Amino acid sequence: MSASAVGLAQIGKSVFIKGELSGSEDLYVDGQVEGSIALKGNSLTIGPNGQVKAGIDAKGVVIQGKLEGNIQAAERVELRKSAIVTGDIATQRILIEDGAFLKGKVDIQRD
């Protein structure tokens, strides 16, 4: 097992979860999640097949797939070129790649 895979939970593309998701490790979602995702000290990555309808509270968020919901990220949000996001983002740092779609407001916060 590679060092980068340690402490990473994964939700595969055939998995559908409805409800509250919380944890204390990084999470990779390539399936469908509806509800809420709370990863206070950790990062969330929504993979290219990921379809998430949830409010997100995490340290860092990387989106490659589709998200409907608001993001509260303590450190950083990255919207990759394949990202489709509908919702408001509150974070300290944001990266939006050329081609990413965002409908919502961005609130850049200071320490």
d(CA 28, CA 45): 5
Confidence of residue 4 (pLDDT cuts 50, 70, 90): very low
Of residues 2 and 107, the one with the higher pLDDT is: 107
Question: What is the per-residue pLDDT across 89-100, written as a single tens digit (0 to 9) for each?
Answer: 999 999 999 999
Question: What is the per-residue pLDDT across 46-67, written as a single tens digit (0 to 9) for each?
Answer: 999 999 999 999 999 999 999 9
- Both tokens assigned to 73: 């990220």
Point out which residues pair with 49 in neighbouring strands.
Answer: none
Statement: the pTM of the whole predicted model exceeds 0.85: yes
Is residue 105 left, alpha or beta, with left meaning phi > 0 and alpha meaning psi from -120 to 50? beta
DSSP string covering 92-106, please? Answer: SEEEE-TT-EEES-E
